[in-house]
Amino acid sequence: MSQIFSGGVFSSDLSDGRAGVEIELLSSHVCASTAEGDAFVIPYEQCSVEQGGYSGKMLFCRNPDRSITIFSEDPSFLAALDEASRGLLSEQLAAERAKSKRQSRRGSLFVTGIVVGAAILIVLLYYGVRVGADRVTKALPVSLDKQIGKMAYQAMPKEGTEVHDPQLVDPIRGIVSRLAEHAKVEGLDFDLHVVDSPTVNAFCLPGGTMVVYTGLISASESPEQLAAVIAHEMSHATLRHGVSRISQSMGLSAAVSLIIGDSAGLLAAGEEFFRNASINSYSRQQESDADGEGVMMLHKAGIDPSGMPGLFEVLKEEHGEVPEALIWISTHPDHETRIAETKMMIQSLPDKNYDTIDLDWSEIQSRVTNSVEMKSE
């Protein structure tokens, strides 16, 4: 029994060149009949088949001179045509099936390629802009660091009142000056502020604005130990870690504008960054670099760099568990590693006779009004 399928026909014999038809698959030919009674016939042996159309699933049967095209989108039309033609069209139909599969596979590959390509491009663009911004930042004059540092210092909350006692501040300023002579970058002003706070911390903002808390002075056993922390913090400024971190924290658009020469975004991001982020929020690599540079500065300034691992030892022994007040050490890589690393750095330095810092350290410490408040467990 023949099957009927709905479909259409294209023929120049029709007034509009096309009509909707009912397709009947007979024993020797495919026959399409319009509602008006016109019939179009293609014998199977003369039929060439092709799959296509909007959906890609439409099957077209054409006569040799292509004057008649009978088509249907019925999903079972292809199999029925294969059966009705008794193998005459099998080869063509198999080729069309294979072509359809190939196209669908190519389509999937194309879309996957586009999606993966777009994802890779976005990632590359993101990191490219970040790296580009970092490079540009490093190429900017240090006057920009100073501007950021001053803005940040004014904007940031202070943990205590500034100490102006010359007997306490001047000796520390002396240590800073001694180290500043060996700064890796010229043009930085290491402007020291001693702040009355039990916090065991010190930091140096971009451009050289520096804060040392009295808590750190009390915790240091010798001026060399304090000098080690100061050298480490000054190294963050000389290695320009602050602006590097700011450029990393900037939005992509600000980073792009920096690359094309507009540094206003960097200034705004700098103020925002230091107002909201922890002062010591540098990466581990930056901390290690600052340790290394700090050791080098101490060495060049003739100050014994063993003050650095020395301070770590003291803090470790006295406060195994790092209490909250010891911010300086708690935001840095674990002190065991740092002790080992800094000791190795010091060993690799050429031999030198270091001058002891000639200060009455206990007298200086006695001028610190606040004692370090440790949190007991």
Residues that bind other proteins (CB under 8 A): 8, 10, 17-18, 20, 52-56, 58, 60, 66, 69, 71, 73, 107, 110-111, 114
Least distance to other proteins, CB of residue 258, Å:
26
Q: Any idea what the Cα angle at residue 236 is, between residues 181 and 283, rounded to 5°?
A: 160
Q: 53 or 251, CB closer to other proteins?
A: 53
Q: 102 or 158, CB closer to other proteins?
A: 102
Q: 10 or 312, CB closer to other proteins?
A: 10
Least distance to other proteins, CB of residue 120, Å:
16
The answer to whether 138 and 240 are in contact (CB under 8 A) is: yes
Q: 52 or 302, CB closer to other proteins?
A: 52
Least distance to other proteins, CB of residue 70, Å:
11
Q: 79 or 115, CB closer to other proteins?
A: 115
Q: 54 or 186, CB closer to other proteins?
A: 54
Q: 10 or 44, CB closer to other proteins?
A: 10
Measured distance CA(28)–CA(85) in Å, rounded? 7
Mapping DSSP onto H, E and C, the string for the chain reads CCCEEEEEEEECCCCCCEEEEEEEECCCEEEEEECCCCEEEEEHHHCEEEEECCCCCEEEEECCCCCEEEEECCCCHHHHHHHHCCCCCHHHHHHHHHHHHHHHHHHHHHHHHHHHHHHHHHHHHHHHHHHHHHHHHHHCCHHHHHHHHHHHHHHCCCCCCEECCHHHHHHHHHHHHHHHCCCCCCCCCCCEEEECCCCCCEEECHHHCEEEEHHHHHHCCCHHHHHHHHHHHHHHHHCCHHHHHHHHHCCHHHHHHHHCCCCHHHHHHHHHHHHHCCCCCCCHHHHHHHHHHHHHHHHHCCCCCCHHHHHHHHHHHHCCCCCCCCHHHHCCCCHHHHHHHHHHHHHCCCCCCCCCCCCCHHHHHHCCCCCCCCCCC
Least distance to other proteins, CB of residue 46, Å:
17
Least distance to other proteins, CB of residue 64, Å:
14
Measured distance CA(23)–CA(77) in Å, rounded? 10
Q: 69 or 92, CB closer to other proteins?
A: 69
Least distance to other proteins, CB of residue 55, Å:
7
Least distance to other proteins, CB of residue 259, Å:
24
**Which has the closest alpha carbon to 255: 237, 274, 269, 240?**
269
Least distance to other proteins, CB of residue 110, Å:
7
Least distance to other proteins, CB of residue 102, Å:
13
Pull the structure tokens for residue 368: 């610190």
Q: 38 or 73, CB closer to other proteins?
A: 73
